Amino acid sequence: MSGSESSAGPSAPIDVELPFETLSWVGGLDGHVTMLEQTFLPLREEQLLVRTVPEMVDAIYRLAVRGAPAIGVAAGFGMVLGIAGSDRDVLEVARETKKTLDASRPTAVNLMWATAKVLSKLESLAGSSSQEELRAAAFAEAMAIYEGDRQTCRTMGLLGAELIQDGATLLTHCNAGALATAGIGTALAPIYTAHAQGKRVHVFSDETRPLLQGARITTWELMRAGIDVTLITDSMAARVMSEGKIDAVFVGSDRITRNGDVCNKIGTFGVALAAKHHGIPFHVVAPLSTVDPYLDSGKLIPIEERPASEITEGFGNRTAPMDAKVYAPAFDVTPAELVTSIITEAGIIESPSMTGIEAALDRGGVQWRKG
């Protein structure tokens, strides 16, 4: 690590202001969602208005909104769109809407976590509340998920920034930034916070095949935020590490199982292996809503497969022979033993194991024990 001491205290509360917003709710119960259409980045900044459940499913599936926590917030809003858009029994509609939204993408557990949160709120109130009160409760719960995500990002940012020294050069994969959350991001939150604390930080961003979230989104948002960023292809990461250029890796996650295995964008496992080889710390930054306490191992995580066309003609140009056989898993699993730490809003889990994960869930007040 090069450079001098940071000019600000490690835990100084910092307000990180970013010049863009991933998604938000507009208006009251009869309102709608507005989101930055991420498939257009970095060429165009356009807002997508989402007013119905099918529109939300489409936005999530197409990756107009993406990144585990942002998908969770979007799904919470999607529950409200379903409920507010129907005259039928609220609980019945909520159950149907949850099923529809949950099917839009299978891997990021934040999606099912958010829809379950809204539904269980309604189930707990159904016996004693009117239909109007239930609609208002769904809206309040979705807004609480949105606000909670923003606060969680700030907390993870402060905790993670303590692991970043002045002058550090970091590597990240995919986009686990502000555009993957409703706040300042997961993996990028410590970087934004360290920067705001006055530390000098340089980031290498893997381009992230096949949909280029690293090139299109991470590079875009770090440049917009004034962070020094250098784009590399995924295949260059091990080389850059071998040149001694990387002090630590920071990535996000779509699902963490109870034993500490970490599922994230395809290519993350390779980055973790290369980091281990070079003795480089591999940090995962994720809220507790990304922890799936009901799966004991990463082997049990459903891995999304994307259409072949995203590889063979990703951005309009054909890059493989017609009818080439293609396999396109969108995520991989990094075994816990390759993970240095998981930074959550309930503290940092060092060398993650079942004991550490369970303790963090308990500290965070997550009701996960059955019975």
Ligand X SMILES: CSC[C@@H](O)[C@@H](O)C(=O)COP(=O)(O)O
How many angstroms separate the Cα of 286 from the Cα of each of 1, 78, 353?
25, 22, 15
Instruction: Determine, following the binding rule CB under 6 A, whether residue 252 of this chain makes contact with ligand X.
Output: yes
Name which of 39 and 129 has its Cβ closer to ligand X.
Answer: 39
Q: Is residue 176 near ligand X by the rule CB under 6 A?
A: yes
Whole-number minimum distance, CB 331 to ligand X, in Å?
6
Has 151 been labeled as part of a binding site?
no
97 CB-near residues (< 8 Å, 6+ apart):
53, 78, 79, 81, 82, 83, 115
Alpha helices in the chain (DSSP H): 53-62, 68-84, 90-102, 109-125, 131-161, 189-196, 219-224, 237-242, 268-278, 309-312, 354-363
The reply to whether 66 sits near ligand X by the rule CB under 6 A is yes
Range 289-328, binding ligand X (CB under 6 A): none
Residues 329-368 within binding reach of ligand X (CB under 6 A): 330
Minimal CB distance residue for ligand X: 252
List the one residue from 209, 216, 265, 283 that touches ligand X (CB under 6 A).
265
- Please name the helix (run of DSSP H) or strand (run of DSSP E) that holds residue 229, with its range, or none: strand 228-232
Pairing of strands 291-292, 255-257: parallel
Return d(Cα 214, Cα 41) in angstroms, integer: 11
Please count the residues of the chain: 371
b vs e for 81-100, b when ≥16 Cβ sit within 10 Å of the residue's Cβ? Answer: bbbbebeeebbebbeebbeb
Site map for ligand X, 194-233, x if CB under 6 A?
A: -------------------x--------------------
The yes or no reply on residue 65 touching ligand X (CB under 6 A) is: no
Nearer to ligand X, 56 or 122 (CB): 56
CA distances from 116 to 17, 20, 93, 271, 311 (A): 31, 29, 13, 33, 33
Cα separation of 116 and 109, whole Å?
11
Specify the 3-state DSSP secondary structure of 215: helix
Q: Are strands 282-285 and 32-36 parallel, antiparallel or unpaired?
A: unpaired
258 is in an annotated binding site: no
Q: Which of residues 109-168 bind ligand X (CB under 6 A)?
A: none
Candidate ranges 44-52, 233-241, 252-260, 348-356; the one touching ligand X (CB under 6 A): 252-260
Instruction: Specify the DSSP class assigned to residue 296.
Output: S
Q: How far is the CB of 264 from ligand X (least distance, A)?
A: 5
Q: Return the residue of 73, 145, 174, 274 that touches ligand X, per CB under 6 A.
A: 174
Q: Which is nearer to ligand X, 60 or 336 (CB)?
A: 60
CB 171 within 8 A of CB 178: no
Residues between 79 and 108 that touch ligand X (CB under 6 A): 108
216 assigned to a ligand binding site: no
Catalytic positions, written as ranges: 254
Q: Is 169 in the site for ligand X (CB under 6 A)?
A: no
User: From the list 253, 289, 340, 341, which residue makes contact with ligand X (rule: CB under 6 A)?
Assistant: 253
Could you tell me which stretch among 67-75, 82-90, 113-121, 319-327 binds ligand X (CB under 6 A)?
67-75
SS3 255: strand
SS3 78: helix
Q: Which is nearer to ligand X, 137 or 188 (CB)?
A: 188
* Residue 99 marked as a ligand binder: no
> Which range in 50-58, 62-70, 73-81, 113-121 contacts ligand X by CB under 6 A?
62-70
Binding ligand X (rule: CB under 6 A), the pick from 83, 180, 272, 339 is 180
Q: Which residues are annotated as a binding site?
A: 66-68, 105, 213, 264-265
Binding site for ligand X (CB under 6 A): 63, 66-69, 108, 174, 176, 180-181, 186, 213, 252-254, 264-265, 330
Q: Which residues are annotated as a binding site for substrate?
A: 66-68, 105, 213, 264-265
